[in-house]
Structure 1
């Protein structure tokens, strides 16, 4: 089972940091009933969820804490939206247009070059911890999450 903090990707742009249930809140609630043992960072790799063995295993619970425990430094993900844009982060303000190259019949090497440039330009962090953070225009449903 996975739990995820509410992220600032809602269509209404009504997300408020002070009203969210955090990873800490989730874990505190789970620990009232279960013993949780962290699997550790070496097992997590670039996955978005921190994972815990429940009551010694074999069951595992995960928590994705994009807001309160960002994992940007280990993130190696990009997304291709339904309208052909490469997003290097869910919270990015910018996208790289791949649709134009695809529609113009660009060779595979050119498409790969465009995507590589987008990935190499991936920012070190999403900036969620910055008080000046601005929610992206696209909600999660328009990103493809």
Structure 2
């Protein structure tokens, strides 16, 4: 049961993250080794009102964020769309596909396997801690 790209098995996502982490650390060490300090220090910044937005890659996925600042440079509005909310539909679809194969197991084992499937998406700690209430009705 090795790992070969492309891997679409969410239970192997931790392997992909480990490979990415190894690459990131290796690249960070290269950047540090090659770093040359600039001749001039940073340019002084002046406060002004405006809006900024960006997306950044995070271990859980892409993080979208938008900020509005006033003329004093204070944030007056912030919108953050974390990867967990972006992955919600896929998490639910994975559970719909996984559950039929678990129905003959105990309620405790079903809950455990569902929790594993959800945690493969690396949700934030508060979501990962209190995220699943299983209600099973056997006919």
Q: TM-score, normalised by structure 1?
A: 0.25
| Higher fraction of helix | 2
Tell which structure's C-alpha radius of gyration is larger: 2
Higher relative contact order (CA 8 A, sep 6+): 1
